[in-house]
Amino acid sequence: MKKKNNKFSIKSRIKSFDYAFQGILFFIKTQHNARIHLLMAIVVVVFGFIYELCITEWCLIIFAIGMVFSTEIINTALEYVSDLVSPEKNLKVKRIKDLAAGGVLISAITAAIIGLIIFIPKIF
């Protein structure tokens, strides 16, 4: 009897994590903004240890960092797809890229506000 190929096998799940980590590494290696976000995340985490954040503050910081990285990765993916399907200048593609970049900006501003709310009282 022929063995069925199970799409939900443990091996396929592990492989999907491998693909995701490859994407994250590619993102950090190739995107200047990713390295800026990474540096800022490291600085914030170091400050978090210095100022002994409580569990709720850590959750907010981790959420903010994850939100910024997620939106930046999605923005990068949309830019790659946009360039693939429309290598020439295209107003609709420009709008897509501008909207995705706007999403990153909103998440970065939100993360900065969260950081300021948490750290300003501790610093002063």
Residue 60 sits in a domain whose CATH number is 1.10.287.3610
As for how many domains the chain has, the answer is 1
Give the sign of the dihedral formed by CA 73, CA 78, CA 81, CA 87: negative
Is 73 within 8 Å of 27 (Cβ atoms)? yes
Task: Write the pLDDT tens digit of every residue in 14-66.
Answer: 898 999 999 999 999 999 999 999 999 999 999 999 999 999 999 999 999 99
Task: Write the pLDDT tens digit of every residue in 53-106.
Answer: 999 999 999 999 999 999 999 999 999 999 999 999 999 999 999 999 999 999
Cα distance between residue 80 and residue 74, in whole Å: 10
1 within a domain of the structure (yes/no): no
Q: CB neighbours (10 Å) of residue 58?
A: 14
Neighbouring residues of 95: CB distance < 8 A, sequence distance ≥ 6: none
17 within a domain of the structure (yes/no): no
Is 96 within 8 Å of 78 (Cβ atoms)? yes
4 within a domain of the structure (yes/no): no
Print burial letters for 16-47: b (CB count within 10 Å at least 16), e (below 16).
eeeeeeeeeeebeeebeebeebeebbeebeeb
Residue 112 confidence (pLDDT): 97
39 within a domain of the structure (yes/no): yes
Range of the domain at 105: 32-123
pTM: 0.86
Cα distance between residue 103 and residue 111, in whole Å: 12
Name the more confident of 4 and 85: 85
